Structure 1
Amino acid sequence: MKAFVFPGQGAQFVGMGKDLYENCPEAKALFEQANDILGFRITDIMFSGTDEQLKQTKVTQPAIFLHSVILTMTLGEDAKPEMVAGHSLGEFSALVVNGVLSFEDGLKLVSQRAQAMQKACEMTSSTMAAIVGLSDDVVEEVCAEIEGVVPANYNCPGQLVISGAESAIDQACEILKEKGARRALKLPVGGGFHSPFMEPARVELEAAIEATNFSAPTCPIYQNVDALPQTDAKAIKANLVKQLTGAVKWTQTVENMIKDGATSFTEIGPGKVLQGLVKKVDRKMETIGINSYQG
């Protein structure tokens, strides 16, 4: 069974999507439609902007979504996955690819999500840190002991990202180093994503999601909040709302997809982070990366 997976924030790079725009008329039309929907020429920043411009949340999230979705649309008959998943933001890409969301609705929701998250970041000071080399249960125990710190991204065995208030994250990092973490590194992010600090964004996004039409999917999506396959549009909506304040259970997602019959994982979009994470779960699993126009 073919699994398609889609990357999240951090995978962006200057020049992303330019080959699609220049070589595929259908892709160019979709990029121009995106410029109109967003109200600014995101293509200019994606193709020839600076790293700093591309790092703006209102740019980063739609840019990664556009690269993943438009690239998948150019694959033709090959783009027929039997299961899909996306890491955080990537879940929206997955929902367009499996027919739940239209291209336009998916882009609008991603743009609203990005702006709502940016506002939430500006309301309170929070951050994230990557913890490497400890079992999940040890990290979970430390999080439970420190107010304002929660597990945020279960990326792969031995790698868990935590989220919370700046000072609480500093405290957690020190304790986790004492407990044997190989690394406890604060990340250069705008705030404490996938934590209660994103509650204002969750409320804002919930209204937008409720007002959007969700269709029946062409294949199951394994969602971040519970790592389980979902085909019910109403349940998909509810899980998507919970995602902003809930943890990304990527390790469990990959494990469940393999258990349910996945024989290969194709990462579509910028970067190759997800291929590496899949290999950390099962080093024998076939992984494929598609990050440029295939012709």
Structure 2
Amino acid sequence: MSKIAFIFPGQGTQYIGMGKDFYEECKVSREMFELAGKAADLDVASLCFEKNEKINITEYTQIAMLATEVAILKAIEEKGYKPDVTAGLSLGEYGALAAAGVMSPEDIFKIVRKRGIYMQEAVPVGGAMTAVLGLPSDRIERICEETQGMVSIANYNCPGQIVVTGEAEAVGKASEAFIAEGAKRCIPLNVSGPFHSPLLKGAGERLEEALEEVMIREIAIPYLSNVTGNYVTEKEQVKQLLTAQVSSSVRWQQSVERMIADGVNTFVEIGPGKTLSGFIRKIEKEVKAEHKITAINIEKVEDMENLVTIQPTAS
């Protein structure tokens, strides 16, 4: 029997017009955009649909991405589809929380609006992120430890692709060492700060205070934490892990490997782009899964036709 995972991308895949067809054609999706706008005290629909520069600024990107993901999620759920497990990359973990029923959509929108602001305000001068291609993680970890200054792994995306983060000078020195060690390429990322770095610990502390006001529900559907790459089994763990996530490595590859090991063979990527689907194909080759892995992306209303390949799980 097929096991289904709903997965949600992080910021970086956003674009003007994302989710607009869901807003126009699905009442439940429109309600989610409106709820996000009310919770964030922003015109989120205009942010997503009308040409503007804010959509690529972290404090706005995060609420725009999440509103789009939850709007699409609710349209899929309305069709009778639910996952066996869920996960998301960085910001996408909040989409997973929505799918898992851990927080109400209103609370998730409020928290992510604050998260975006806190992360934007905490960005230090002179931070950087770089994607390292073609070098094993253990060698990247070693070089980070040996490099003077603050540099660490931000994302374990998939085999052959790891992102490092930290002080620009340290990231630059480490990048030279990665190439000398045999990395194929080191690609500086066009980001506004060194995300998932200890340099952003202050943003996590502010988020921790904001989370005190949020009610955490029982975990209805299993979901995986970026911090551990494993399932969150107790609702008491949720706030602590979300706090740590801001300044910790995102263990996406480990999360996908765990899901595949547990029998997940269908991944439904919900939101803009196909980044996670690409990562999954590379991870599948690495783990040599017993069963063929299918990755479906849902970012347009017409994409929901692809759901016919899996069986609805709700009446």
TM-score, normalization: structure 2?
A: 0.90
Indicate conservation of the 8 Å contact 2:128/2:165, yes or no: yes
Q: Distance in 1 between matches of 2:26 and 2:298?
A: 16
Matches within 5 A, 1:115-264: 115-121=117-123, 123-146=124-147, 147-264=149-266
Indicate conservation of the 8 Å contact 1:227/1:252, yes or no: yes
Q: Distance in 1 between matches of 2:190 and 2:200?
A: 17
When residues 277 and 78 of structure 1 are mapped into structure 2, their CA distance, relative to the original with a 3 A threshold, is farther
Cα deviation code 1:253-291 (max 9, x no counterpart): 000111111121110011110000011110441111111
**What's the counterpart of residue 104 of structure 1?**
106
> How much has 1:209 moved relative to structure 2?
1.4
**What's the counterpart of residue 56 of structure 2?**
55
Q: Distance in 2 between matches of 1:262 and 1:159?
A: 22
> How much has 1:99 moved relative to structure 2?
0.4
Matches within 5 A, 1:30-69: 30-50=32-52, 52-69=53-70
Q: Distance in 1 between matches of 2:126 and 2:23?
A: 38
> How much has 1:125 moved relative to structure 2?
2.3
Indicate conservation of the 8 Å contact 2:59/2:119, yes or no: no
Match status 1:290 vs 2:298? yes
Cα deviation code 1:169-228 (max 9, x no counterpart): 111111111111111111011111111111110110011112211101111111101111
> How much has 1:77 moved relative to structure 2?
4.4
> How much has 1:53 moved relative to structure 2?
2.5
TM-score, normalization: structure 1?
A: 0.96
**What's the counterpart of residue 74 of structure 1?**
75
Q: Which amino acid aligns with 2:295?
A: T
Secondary structure of 2:264's counterpart equals coil
Q: Distance in 1 between matches of 2:186 and 2:236?
A: 38
> How much has 1:105 moved relative to structure 2?
0.3
Aligned pair count reads 293
> How much has 1:158 moved relative to structure 2?
1.2
Indicate conservation of the 8 Å contact 2:131/2:189, yes or no: yes
Give the % identical residues. Answer: 39
Cα deviation code 1:115-157 (max 9, x no counterpart): 0000111x43211100000000110110001130011100001
- Larger displacement relative to structure 2 (71-80 or 267-276): 71-80
- Larger displacement relative to structure 2 (36-45 or 136-145): 36-45
Q: Which amino acid aligns with 2:73?
A: T
**What's the counterpart of residue 97 of structure 2?**
95
Q: Which amino acid aligns with 1:97?
A: A
